[in-house]
A and B are shown apart, each in its own frame.
Chain A
Amino acid sequence: MYFYAARQPILDADKNLYAYELLFRDGVDNVFPDVDGDMATSRIIEGAQINFGLEDLTDGKPAFINFTLETIAKKYPSMMSPDTLVVELLETIQPGKRLLSEVQKLHEQGYTIALDDYEHKPVWKHFYPYISMIKIDLRSMSQDEVTSVLADLKAYPEITLLAEKVETLEEFEWCKSLGFTYFQGFFFSKPEMVKTKNLSPAQMTLAELLYETSNEDVNIPKITQVFERDINLSYKLLRYANSAAFSRVSEISTIKQAIIALGHLELKKFISLLFSTQANSSKPGELLKMSMVRARFCEQLALAEKSQDIGKAFLTGMMSLIDAILDETIEKVMEQLPLANEIKVALIEGEGKLAEFLKLAKAYETR
């Protein structure tokens, strides 16, 4: 499962990169998909925060993201730091008291706010004290209209102007002469597609369970709760706990019973197996088998060494090929998975006791 987005650079008058506007895409076609604005905003924030990492998407520059009134009211901007985000108010939002109140709050929290595809209406004057930037779409106004709007906005020198849809050198030079500070458009660059591997919601739930079970003190009510949120996982757990692999006297019928009956180690194995099998069904089964061998081998070595980290050793082995399974770097996968730090250090840096177990596993693979 891939996550797609597009980014278009925003440049200053010297054509230095200032920021990127992030645009939602739902596939390889570099066009805005047929989804509503709320969905597009929430998906792009999810992508920036979870799938890509904002740093990767914007090379450390600010991200311009379109927001609808609903997504602002739901406090989505607060999922990102004010230093990294420019909140663009979509042109489809009707200016009114509710929007003004939300904009004031965002301003107080330190967010930079921009008006997208600006339409010059008197009502926006109420917003000017909280607005840092106005984006003017060169394709939606005549040159005379642009000149007239800019003349009116001269009374608000603290508002920065950004020219959108700049398509020629002449337009760029003309906008510079009018006093625009930032520029965006095909003259500089078309939106560039970016894609990354995305953990599905089911995998994210499993990742949460991996984390919960990697703690020494297992929080059974919490784990039960996570399972109960996912009917599919609950079903698999009950089938597994009732399977012939465990001879039970009586049938297990509740999630809590299944968790207690399996015990900490078996539960952890079940979850990590499920995670790996769901990670990428198109990959050769050999990778999965190798992960399982490593998991069991590391676990048994930890046991032989009387280590306290038996569960972590198992998980280290199990996750040691997840980069190959997901076609991502181990660093990126680890950013998404809430695993114990010793496991991450072992997998990324090859340091620590858990990495020693893994080293030995690799040595045996080459025999």
Chain B
Amino acid sequence: MKRGDWDSEYEAEKALNLTDAKVPEIYASAVNWADEQISVLQNDSEF
């Protein structure tokens, strides 16, 4: 998909019956989660 391809994004959400779900919020929370995990991994040199 091209950058900013809103139609494709909408089609993907529609295919998943997720048009009502707060997909942008889900994405933002996934980014936060990844940041938290990486900070845990970086703070623990054993990993």
Contacts and interface: CB of A to CB of B under 8 A. Distances in A.
Contact of A243 (B24, B34, B40): B40
Contacts of A273: 37, 41
A218 B18 CA distance: 29
Given A360-B9, A360-B12, A300 B29 contact: yes
Given A277-B41, A292-B38, A304 B18 contact: yes
A360 B38 contact: no
Instruction: Please classify the interface of chain A as helix (H, G, I), strand (E, B), loop, or mixed, using the class held by over half of its residues.
Output: helix
Interface string B11-47: 0110111100101101101110111011011001011
Given A288-B38, A289-B34, A296-B33, A305 B16 contact: yes
Contacts of A364: 9, 23-24, 27
A273 B38 CA distance: 10
A363 B9 contact: yes
Interface residues of B, number: 31
Given A289-B34, A305-B18, A363-B9, A300 B4 contact: no
A357 interface: yes
B12 A236 contact: no
B46 to A, nearest CB: 6
A367 B41 CA distance: 27
A293 B15 contact: no
Given A297-B26, A300-B26, A236 B46 contact: yes
B26 A285 contact: no
A288 B38 CA distance: 9
A176 B18 CA distance: 71
- How many chain A residues sit at the interface, stated as a range, is 20 to 34
Contact of A366 (B5, B21, B24, B40): B5
A293 B30 CA distance: 5
B22 to A, nearest CB: 8
B26 to A, nearest CB: 5
A301 interface: yes
A84 to B, nearest CB: 40
A359 interface: yes
A328 interface: no
A277 B42 CA distance: 11
A124 B46 CA distance: 57
Given A297-B27, A366-B3, A356 B34 contact: no
A363 B23 CA distance: 11
A277 B38 CA distance: 10
B47 A274 contact: yes
A360 B16 contact: yes
A289 B30 CA distance: 10
Contacts of A362: 1
B26 A304 contact: yes
A248 interface: no
Interface of B: 1-5, 8-9, 12-13, 15-18, 21, 23-24, 26-27, 29-31, 33-35, 37-38, 40-41, 44, 46-47
Name the 3 nearest CB pairs between A and B, nearest first. Answer: A292-B34, A296-B30, A297-B30
Given A292-B37, A301-B16, 9 more contacts: A243-B44, A245-B40, A293-B30, A296-B33, A305-B16, A305-B17, A356-B15, A360-B18, A364-B23
